[in-house]
Structure 1
Amino acid sequence: MGKLSGALDMHIHGAPDIVKRKLSDIEIVRDAITHGMYGVVLKTHLGSTAERAALMQELFGAKLRVFGGITLNNFIGGFNPLALQVALMMGAKIVWMPTFTAKTHLIYERKIGKAVNALSNVCANIEGLSILDDNGKILDSVVKILNLVAKHNAVLGCGHIGMEEVKALIPVAKACGVKKIVYNHPNNPINAASLEEQQWLVSQGVLLERCVVDLVQGLADWKIILKEIRETGVENNIFSTDLGQFTNIAPTKGLELAHDILLENHFNTQEISKLICENPRELLLT
């Protein structure tokens, strides 16, 4: 059995896209099958991958589970309940809060004075989305979004809205009946969450998604991430890749890298399986 036997990568970016990608959806799925993986989640910042995932599932049948989701960026109208409802009806399993058009993301990019990728230029002149109104209250449209996520038992991904907004989001999400919440890449400067904040998140039942892309691009440190996984509990973490960038390694290579480094740093095979197989599968299948 290979290193990735039974693994599920919950965060892969493929082509088609307006950003140059390393692999197409078809190539991503074929590569995952070759490595004996259980499944992959296709993600785009542009909207929904539910349709693309359905096509990949039809093409490759029982060889791999292919999941899609929807990202609530301006490209589909932001917090658009109708767009979300259609995506969920099409089979979307994950609903991500805004990423590249999140206000927090845009503030970060403007602060560092550097575009993350080609999408940054498209978003250069927009204000950005916040889940909060001017009085700090959750928008009615966001509450409608959360009710739809709960109704369809989908996974809520926090996207790039950052800790300040997430602290307001989680209690409302739980009150709406949302059962599965993931805080995406807490070690990325855009979404940085301190260890104390991560511990609060897991106390609220939130899973922490560690992403290989943050490590291969030098945005995070392996030692810190491994320590934080220990501090917050293997059962409360998942390892995804967030790969697909043209200049980076392939997603399967990234997940193998995570496997090897975890093993080298005294995580046993059962713990590694929790991080890359069991925890993501439980999120998507229960």
Structure 2
Amino acid sequence: MTGSTDVKDEQRVAALLRGAIDPHVHSGPSIAARSLDHIELLEAASQAGFAAVVTKDHDYSGVMTAALIKKHRPDLTTKLYSSIVLNNVVGGLNPYAVEHTAALGGRIVWLPTLAAANHLRWQAAAKWVHPASTERMRPVTAIPVLNDDKSVRDDLKEVLDIVAKNDMVLASGHLHVSETWLVFEEAQRRGVKRLVFTHPEDIVDASLNDVKGIAAMGAFVEHSLCMFLDGCKFKSREPEDLRNQIDAAGVGQTMLCSDLGQVGTFSPLEGFGRGIQLCIDLGYDDDEIRKMVSTNTARALGIEADVAAAGAA
């Protein structure tokens, strides 16, 4: 690649970062070490021209922090949203916690991640403990989402009803793909309109046929760019794997996120920019990339109007 091409690509990446949305960022504070906090994330995103970011912590709802930052840092132009992950620390499948998150403007309800039975099996096989795991305090209890007969648990049905009532996003977290199918089908029966399938490329044991089928049911498929980037400690897949994933779901149902904020690797902004460069290298045009890094995500989150207002300000 020539120097002039490098400059051209840098300009393309910078242009595509303007108006981008990162829907999955692990900024701090957290019990896991983080490379930046929520304010530092929003400062960097605003400087780059991001339309929005969504913070995610495995152990708490970030909506209170988001409200404080919005009030005291109106100079930051990137819209800030947050989410809740239904792990042990918030009481698992806790409808009260979900209602509270909804009342304070949270957009995403993640099904269990570090407390998913599938995650605990995967972690044991890897002989590794996630740095955000509460196992340092007490053993993590797996949070089941299905009954023995494979029907969705009643407590999860109550959560699904709250997600539907508040037009929130239901994200699959670290459930096994076989569980995701059943929960997503029940969610749609109960009126949930916004579904996101989390990083099928790792942990959740999804095939490309699963990706294709879950996208066909109307879910967006979210890919963690950190898992495809050379030099990232989380890399587990090759660039062609990303192409295959995107082809399976289709550009129109694909969302890209950094899934970054951890120490010892790229910042969320750098990782997101490298991910855009990867998409350029794979041959996607600017319109296709814009869909995957911005407009699809705005549709998935239901924040088109907020993003448009931020861009006009």
Please indicate the TM-score interval, normalised by the length of the shorter structure: over 0.9
2:250 corresponds to 1:233: yes
2:26 pairs with 1:13: yes
- Distance in 1, matches of 2:250 and 2:38, equals 32
Give the CA deviation at 1:120: 6.2
Q: CA deviation digits over 1:54-109, x for unaligned, max 9?
A: 12222332611100111110101100101111111111110000101111100111
Question: Offset at 1:124?
Answer: 7.1
Could you say if the C-alpha distance between residues 121 and 220 of structure 1 is closer, same or farther in structure 2, counting changes exceeding 3 Å?
farther
Larger radius of gyration: 2
What do residues 11-40 of structure 1 show as CA deviations (whole Å, max 9, x unaligned)? 001111110000011100000011111010
**SS of equivalent residue, structure 2 residue 192:** coil
2:277 equivalent to 1:260: yes
Partner of 2:96: 82
- Change in 2 beyond 3 A, CA 1:73/1:118: closer
Partner of 2:147: 133
The amino acid that maps onto 1:211 is S
TM-score in terms of structure 2 length: 0.87
CA root-mean-square deviation = 1.5
Residues 1:235 and 1:127: Cα distance change in structure 2 (over 3 Å): same
Aligned length: 285
Q: Are positions 1:25 and 2:38 aligned together?
A: yes
Amino acid at match of 2:127: G
> 1:139, 1:256 → 2: CA distance?
40
- Paired residue secondary structure (2:69): helix
Q: CA deviation at 1:247?
A: 1.0
Q: Which amino acid aligns with 2:156?
A: V
Contact 1:199 1:232 in 2 (8 A): yes
**Equivalent residue for 1:50?**
63
The residue type equivalent to 1:64 in the other structure is T
Letter in 2 for 1:5: R
Task: Measure, in 2, the Cα distance between the counterparts of 1:98 and 1:231.
Answer: 25
Over residues 83-142 of structure 1, what are the superposed CA-to-partner deviations in whole Å (9 max), with x where a residue is unaligned? 111111111110000101111100111122122324163387334112012232211010
Structure 2 residue aligned with 1:153: 167
Q: With structure 1 as the length reference, what TM-score do the two structures score? A: 0.95
In 2, distance between residues paired with 1:277 and 1:3? 9
- Give deviations 1:229-249, integer Å, cap 9, x for gaps: 023210010000110011111
Check the 8 A contact 2:16/2:290 in 1, yes or no. Answer: no
Letter in 2 for 1:191: V
Kept in 2: contact 1:57–1:64 (CA 8 A): no
Equivalent AA in structure 1 for residue 247 of structure 2: R
Say yes or no: does 1:34 pair with 2:51: no
Counterpart contact for 1:2–1:35, Cα < 8 Å: no
- 2 CA distance for matches of 1:110 and 1:120? 15
- Structure 1 residue 73 corresponds to structure 2 residue 87: yes
Residue aligning to 2:4: none
More deviation, 210-219/98-107: 210-219
In structure 2, what is the equivalent of residue 104 of structure 1?
118
Over 3 Å counting, the alpha-carbon distance change for 1:123 and 1:239 in structure 2 is farther
Deviations 1:207-262 (A, max 9, x none): 11010222232222211111220232100100001100111110010110011111
Change (3 A) 1:203 1:123: farther
Letter in 2 for 1:93: R
Show CA shifts across 1:182-221 (max 9, x none). Answer: 0111111x11311011111011111110102222322222
Amino acid across the alignment from 1:149: V
Identify which range, 53-62 or 43-52, moves more after superposition: 53-62
Residue identity over aligned pairs, in percent, reads 28
Distance 2:286 2:15 in 1: 12
Where 1:156 maps in the other structure, the secondary structure is strand
**Structure 1: stretches of 5+ with no match in the other structure:** none
Mapped contact 1:101–1:123 kept (Cα < 8 A): no
Are 1:100 and 1:123, in contact at CA under 8 Å, matched by a contact in 2?
no
**Within 5 A, what are the aligned runs for 1:143-222?**
143-188=157-202, 190-215=203-228, 216=232, 217-222=234-239
The equivalent of 1:283 in structure 2 is 300
Counterpart CA distance in 2 for 1:97 and 1:123 is 22
User: How far apart, CA to CA, are the structure 2 residues paired with 1:107 and 1:73?
Assistant: 16
SS in 1 for 2:54: strand
